[in-house]
Structure formats: structure tokens, C-alpha cells
Structure 1
Amino acid sequence: MIDSTTIKEVLISEEQLQQRVKELAKQISDDYKGEEVVLVCVLKGAVMFFADLARYVEGDVSLDFISCSSYGSSTVSSGVVRIMKDLDKPVEGKHVVVVEDIVDTGNTLHYLLENLKSRNAKSVRLVALLNKPDRRTAEVKVDYQGFEIPDYFVVGYGLDFAEKYRNLPFVGILNEKVYQDKV
């Protein structure tokens, strides 16, 4: 199981996550009252957040998924963004809310948001569970923010390291010993 050799500290508890997700869903519901909205999950990291958020957003909501990468098999971004899995339906004339787990440098997300705007969506907004503004190298506006965090390597609630720890019900700081030889 998880111990201090894996998780240095629980940064955001399960209770804090669920409370904030409900608050974000209410904000989105209020902003789009009477309008159709498409929630777009950025795979894979946002899937836990996306599922919980979607349950609480009220109104005319449809769901879609997209996956993009600028990393390939490397731990360092190549700077070239590739869409690995595109949306299933067009977003032309629709309000789009992109659901992301974490905004870090913002490079991939900047590309994704511009790409969706170019598809003639009525509007494109971003809801991010976590925001690391200290790491930003590309301009990205976070319209709905869960939590602002310092530059920690975090896992849980969808966030992973080497495809592990996504299933944790909290967001925790990964102990450096877990990844120091692998990044």
C-alpha cells in the first residue's frame, strides 16, 4: 500500500477534492444555465476529475474525450504536440469546457485550446483541477481552478507517475526516491 517511502505528504485530501469539484460544477452550471455545453476530458490524467465533475454539472451536457502528447516516450517535451485521440463529434457552434488535471508549462494545453477555438466553437473555457503557475511557459487562462499548488511532483486522483498511483483518492506529493533515477 502507500506509505511515506512512496507519498511524502497528502497535499489535497479526498474530502477537499470532492468539495471543490462540487463548487466548480456549480460555477459551470451557473455560467451555462440554459445553454448546451460539451465537457471535453483530456485523457488520461483528467478522467477521475472529469467523471466526478460531470456528475454535478446541471443542464444540457454532453461528454467527449481527447488525448494529446508532446512527450512521446521521453520525459522531456519535444515541443511538437500531437493529437493521439480526437473528439468524436464536431464542436462548431457549441460551448466547450476543457477538463484538465493539471496546468504545468501550459505548452500542450495552449495548443489544444487554440485548436478547439479554430473549430468554430461558440466558446472554449478551461477547468483545471490543479494549477502550477510557477512552471508556466505558455499563456493559458484557467477559467475555473480547483487548487493552485507549488512545483511539486504530484500523483493521485488521475495523476500518475509511470502509469501508477492514478487510483489514489487524494493528491499527494510523490517521494523523490520513487522517481529520481527515472526522470
Structure 2
Amino acid sequence: MIQLHDKHFVPFISAQDIGAALERMAKEAEADLDGEVPVFIGVLNGAFMVVSDFVKHYTKPCEISFVKLASYEGTESTGAVKQLIGLSQSLEGRTVVVIEDIVDTGHTVAELVKMFKAQKVKQLKIATLFFKPEAYTQNIALDYIGFEIPNKFIVGYGLDYDGLGRNLPEVYQLHS
């Protein structure tokens, strides 16, 4: 068990299982995107580790960029997505794969889909390491999913609790 601020967390998903899921997701994307040079868009801050390890397993040409959005305060999703940092390149006519650390309500995914459709991308795919189907409120297909998990708060591997825990190589779940 670990403690971050005032909360305790228990081990949930190992670093080895995370690595295997990311390798599988990258190979699925590689097969789907044959002949394309995709732009992988990581959603900061949480997805920095996911993007890094995902692209290590993607062996074909690709580009990498990042956007930063926020919808969390503490352990609760606020429901409102605020764009903080946008893209500096044109994506018109390009294949884009958004890489998320976690998708729960889907508000961020919906905002990203809206942003990239406005950019007139050729094809848009969504990849997420963690997906909470119980919390998902959108009607947007997710193309690559590492793990389907219960609707409980997690930290580690890029995910934080009020700034702490992003550096953990494995994932911990809030202790109830």
C-alpha cells in the first residue's frame, strides 16, 4: 500500500502487464494503419508515459505531438474540458491517433474528436491504456484499449492524485 496526500492506494496493475498491453495496442495500430504515416497525439499530462512506451513498440514511420486538456480536480471529473495547449501543426488530410492514459466519462474524447474533425483529418482513431466502461457516457468508439477497469480512482504510470503518483511504474487503485 502507498499513501499520496491523504489517501491510500493498493497495487492494481503491474508494470509488466502495462508493457504487454502497450505492445499489443501498438501492433494492432500498426496493422490497421499500414501504408499511413500517423500522427500520434498524446494527451498531457497523464499520457506522457503511455505515448513514450507505445511508440517504442510502433516500428513504422510516425510523428508524435501533444495536446494538454484538463477535466479533473482531485479524484472527481469536473465534466468540463478546458483546452490548455493546442497543436502547432496542420493535421488536414492526416491520419491521427489520439493516445490517452485513461478514458472514463469520455468528455475529453468528445472534445478531442470535435477539435480534430475541425482540423479535417483524414482518419481519427482513439487509443487508451485504461477504459472505465461503467463511467463512459459517449457514443464514440475507442479503437485500441489496453485494459477495461472498474470505475475506481487509479494512480501511477502517468496518472496522478493532485500532482503525486505520476512517476510510479505500476498502477495503484484507491483503497476503500
Using structure 2 for the length normalisation, give the TM-score. 0.90
SS at match of 2:55: helix
Letter in 2 for 1:53: F
Deviations 1:5-43 (A, max 9, x none): 7322x2211110001111111111111122110000000
For the 8 Å contact 2:75–2:153, the answer to whether it is kept is no
Check if 1:38 corresponds to 2:36.
no
Q: Would the alpha carbon gap of residues 2 and 65 (structure 1) be closer, same or farther in structure 2, given more than 3 Å must change?
A: same
SS at match of 2:126: strand
Deviation at 1:56, TM superposition (A): 1.2
Residue correspondences, number: 174
Q: Would the alpha carbon gap of residues 50 and 76 (structure 1) be closer, same or farther in structure 2, given more than 3 Å must change?
A: closer
Equivalent residue number for residue 139 of structure 1: 139
The aligned runs of 1:1-183 (5 Å cut-off) are 2=2, 6-8=8-10, 10-70=11-71, 75-77=76-78, 79=80, 81-176=81-176
Deviation at 1:59, TM superposition (A): 1.4
Letter in 1 for 2:9: I
Deviation at 1:70, TM superposition (A): 3.8
Q: Would the alpha carbon gap of residues 128 and 70 (structure 1) be closer, same or farther in structure 2, given more than 3 Å must change?
A: same
Deviations 1:146-174 (A, max 9, x none): 00000111001001000101111111102
> What 5-or-longer segments of structure 2 have no aligned partner?
none
Task: Tell me which protein shows more strand as a share of its residues.
Answer: 2
For the 8 Å contact 1:65–1:88, the answer to whether it is kept is no
CA distance in 1, matches of 2:87, 2:27: 25
CA distance in 2, matches of 1:86, 1:143: 23
> What 5-or-longer segments of structure 1 have no aligned partner?
177-183
SS at match of 1:25: helix
For the 8 Å contact 1:117–1:123, the answer to whether it is kept is no
Deviation at 1:74, TM superposition (A): 10
Letter in 2 for 1:164: L
Letter in 2 for 1:22: E
Q: Would the alpha carbon gap of residues 71 and 166 (structure 1) be closer, same or farther in structure 2, given more than 3 Å must change?
A: closer
For the 8 Å contact 1:35–1:59, the answer to whether it is kept is no
CA distance in 1, matches of 2:8, 2:79: 28
Over 6 Å off, 4+ runs = none
Q: Would the alpha carbon gap of residues 77 and 31 (structure 1) be closer, same or farther in structure 2, given more than 3 Å must change?
A: same
For the 8 Å contact 1:91–1:121, the answer to whether it is kept is yes
